[in-house]
Chain A
Amino acid sequence: MRQQVLVLYLATSALDSDVVGWSRYDGTGRTRPTTGDSDEPPYPTGLAALHDGWRLFQASQLLPPQPRHEYDVSFLKHEFFFEKVEDGSGP
């Protein structure tokens, strides 16, 4: 069993909102995704990834801003991890 991982960063905390960022990690070794390798997201929304068979296994929590840091900007907030599990051996 090998895991394919898809990380989607969405425009809001809603899973059906637009994809604004994305990453791929391939446990089968067949592909080697890396930084800056595509300009178009694999799916328009998080929900579209579900429609294509990806299983959601983690979503970022909704955390209130820390006092006195309400206007700071940092990491993308709405991060969703998906997986597909495939039969077969790894690289």
Chain B
Amino acid sequence: MSTSKQLLTSVQVARFVAQGFLRLDGVVPQEINERAIAALTEGLPDVAYGTPLGGAFARDTFVHELLALPVVAGAVESLVGPEPTVDHHAVHVREPHEGQAQPLHGDAIIDVRPDAFDIQLMYYPHEVTTEMGGTLSVPGSHLRRINETDVGRVQNLRGQTRLTCPAGTVVLVHHGIWHSGRRNDTAGRRYMYKLRLNPTVPQVRLWDLSDLHDPAVTAELNTYFPWYEQATARLEIYNRVLLWRALTGDDSFDVEYWVTRVSNRPALRSHA
């Protein structure tokens, strides 16, 4: 196994910009998964807000080993850059037969930064089945401006993801993604470890750029999701284009001319 960081491709980052998350299924070795379950059962010590990630976790902890995996380290660096800081981390538990799901929500408070984002690493150390209440997330919801549980009235959306995954799965999500801990209908506890990371550098061209002009990049950014309203779907693409421009520094990039068309304001002097 390679020990160097495996940076994301442009197509993968474009998929993150469109969907608001990136799944890495079963990437964590079972030995780390087993140690994680034991640690999560006991509880984790707090980490102070703003602690540099490099010094936040001792080398003998499962978190350190998780973040040192080349596929995880590369994905994190591709999205938030080198030396991010720890916002917070937490153990999330869905109790057996607890009868209710969380309301749909975005974490923290409404966050509309146009050119920066935090990521949340969600790590599932054991297999998650449909009945265990795996995290519900809504692809393409991360750019919608809502505050925390204000969207809780909405229970289901076409194309939503009810996570099922093998042990050792990591999901990296944009801070704005709509999600919920689903109802656990089994007799076992369902664990998830969550770590929020803040960037400390501009999030511009941090990934493997060798495929930056691959048509698949545009195809990812032009993805429509089944829950989008017909008209608002076009605004979703518009907002993705603005984010992609911020991440690449390319102010001419567009999809289907959505941004270019409504930005065109010829000055009077153009006819001089």
State in angstroms the CA–CA spacing of A19 and B158 once bound together: 8
Given A23-B156, A33-B155, A36-B162: A77 and B232 interface contact (C-beta under 8 Å): yes
Q: Please tell me which stretch of A47-55, A68-76, A82-90 contacts chain B, meaning at least 4 of its Cβ atoms lie within 8 angstroms of it.
A: A68-76
A24 touches B155 (CB 8 A): yes
A75 touches B156 (CB 8 A): no
B104 beta carbon closer than 8 Å to chain A: yes
B6 beta carbon closer than 8 Å to chain A: no
The chain A residue with its CB closest to the CB of B145 is: A74
State in angstroms the CA–CA spacing of A83 and B103 once bound together: 22
B249 beta carbon closer than 8 Å to chain A: no
Chain A residues touching B, majority SS: loop
CB distance from B88 to the nearest CB of A (A): 23
A36 touches B145 (CB 8 A): no
Q: Which B residues touch A7, using CB under 8 A?
A: 153-154
B144 touches A35 (CB 8 A): no
B146 touches A35 (CB 8 A): no
State in angstroms the CA–CA spacing of A21 and B226 once bound together: 9
How many contacts A-B (CB < 8 Å)? 98
Interface size for A (C-beta < 8 A) is 29
A73 touches B151 (CB 8 A): no
Q: Which of B102, B228, B235 contacts A35 (CB 8 A)?
A: B102
B160 touches A36 (CB 8 A): yes
Q: Which A residues touch B99, using CB under 8 A?
A: 32
Given A35-B182, A36-B162, A36-B180: A21 and B157 interface contact (C-beta under 8 Å): yes
A20 beta carbon closer than 8 Å to chain B: yes
Q: Which A residues touch B227, using CB under 8 A?
A: 9, 20-21, 76
A12 touches B231 (CB 8 A): yes
Contact with A along B192-205 (1 / 0, CB 8 A): 00000000000000
Q: Which of B103, B154, B158, B229 contacts A77 (CB 8 A)?
A: B229
List which A21-51 residues lie within 8 A (CB) of chain B. 21-24, 32-39, 41
State in angstroms the CA–CA spacing of A21 and B158 once bound together: 6
State in angstroms the CA–CA spacing of A16 and B157 once bound together: 18
In the assembled complex, 12 residue pairs joining A and B whose CB atoms fall closer than 8 Å, in A order, are: A9-B157, A24-B155, A34-B100, A35-B103, A36-B183, A38-B156, A71-B235, A72-B145, A73-B236, A74-B144, A75-B150, A76-B227
User: Which residue numbers of B lie inside 8 Å of A, CB to CB?
Assistant: 99-104, 136, 143-146, 150-158, 160, 162, 180, 182-183, 226-232, 235-236, 238-239
